[in-house]
Amino acid sequence: MNWKRGLFRLWLVLSVLWIARILWIREQCVYGPWIGRQEPDLWWCNHPMADPVASYLEEIATSLGPPIAVLALGYTLLWIFKGFER
């Protein structure tokens, strides 16, 4: 069993799901089905959209930051446990 390959594939699938979730939330907040009506009070849309550049940078950090952090943590743990092998 190849743990490194299996964990990488798990990380890949979870990262795609995470980014899809972020994109879905953005779609609901910006282009929701309430166009032409008053926007509902969705708890995930309560962020200021005053500065579009800052919001895009925040979205990029929110969507890519956690998967990159998990990848770094996973490789660090694999590196640590590889040190215990004979």
Domains of the chain, residue spans:
3-82
Is residue 74 within 8 Å of residue 14, measured between CB atoms?
A: no
Which residues, at least 6 apart from 81, have a Cβ–Cβ distance to it below 8 Å? Answer: none
pTM assigned to the model: 0.68
Q: What is the pLDDT of residues 42-83, one digit of tens each?
A: 655 665 554 556 677 777 888 899 999 999 999 899 889 888
